[in-house]
Amino acid sequence: MQQTQSENPILNPVFSPNHDLFFSSVYRTVRGKGISQVITTPAIHGEDSQSEFQQVIQQKFAEEKAKGVENPILIGSIPFDVSEPSCLYIPERVEVTEHQPDAFGALGGLSTGKPLQVVARRSEPEESVFKQAVAQAVEKFQRTQLEKAVLSRVLNIELSDDISASDILARLIKQNPTGFHFAIPQQDQSVLLGASPELLIRQEGQHILSNPLAGSAKRQASADADQQVSEALLQSVKDRYEHRLVIDEIAQQLRPYCRELDVPAGPSLIHTPTMWHLSTRIEGQLNPPANPEASPYNVLQLACLLHPTPAVCGFPFNLSRDAIKELEGYERGMFTGMVGWCDSQGNGEWAVTIRCGKVREKSVRLFAGAGIVDASCPQAEWAETEAKLGTMLNAFGLGEQGVA
């Protein structure tokens, strides 16, 4: 395996689901070709529970170093339920490049074939069932200590022709240039694709950054209406409460590992082409190792401490996880998990696996969720999931028709 620096990683991305892996951000792009190692060991939640997972990773890194690889890189996805198998790979060859802004505007290679047509479409759960689940979650807030639960749904679509993963990836990058883009082959022969707006954690040396999002509103067509929506979101008591639950929990988890941690007092706004989000950038400097012989923290250890955050699960963790199991009615798999990369020096970047889907031949599974708190309205939460589906539907050329 050879690690190289490519001049232009993002132009005309080519993705073969059997051999290629892809993760990009405005920070760095990692492209892997071929598979040298596969890691399916569950990640497990919390520092003490990670020992087997981390041992397997370090063993695989050591095996790659024994082959002459100076700094092996792992890339892949970890599911929402960290007791389920991971889907991680060490590629045979890796290209790592710094972000090149001009590359996003010059994507080529899109198929010129006929547009995809929807043959069948089904929401799981159906609209009435999802709304009932929201109402049940709100009712739980009245009689338990549950404060937030994130409920989600799947949009299953059958299309007229086989899907080109490289085409969808190229469109996602072009339409969402500031997102975290990924294409990861899965064990069931599908490909996990997406353009997440949410950074779970990034580490470079001793510096870390987490950028959680919670509280959302759909973008509007006119500039005036769009500004009104964004300002209403920033002032929303309901959304700021939901956001604060996430920030407080992440800060609490990171503080013991940091000599410095900067947590802004209030959120700011960020936007994608389809959504506004409340956003907080949490930055820190890690503590030095306890002794010179000790291994430094690595980004995947910290990611597993944080995951799943209240942004995708709820608060408190155990109660929200139990509510999801009771009310959702399907297995999330990789949705609201995490996706990214980590090198043997501990550096890397992991995004929350949202604005995503799984594709296989003519079949697509798209995912969207909404944070439910005491002030939530079932109709509004359903509408939020429909808006969030827009990112992936646009990449397929389906637009609003995919959720009609």
Residues with active-site annotation: 148, 198
Listed residue (155, 84, 152, 144) closest to 327, CA to CA = 152
Task: For residue 358, give the nearest of 341, 337, 342 by alpha carbon.
Answer: 337
Cα dihedral value 320, 325, 331, 337, nearest 10: 20
The sign of the torsion formed by the CA atoms of 309, 311, 312, 317 equals positive
Element (H, E) at 327: helix 317-327
Q: What SS3 class is residue 319? A: helix
Closest to 353 measured CA to CA, from 159, 108, 80, 135? 80
Closest C-alpha among 84, 61, 88 to residue 185: 88
**87-98 and 73-78 beta bridge pairing:** antiparallel
34: left (phi over 0), alpha (psi -120 to 50) or beta: left
Q: What residue type is assigned to position 309 of the chain?
A: T
Query: Can you give the length of the chain in residues?
Result: 404
Identify the helix (H) or strand (E) that includes residue 242.
helix 237-254
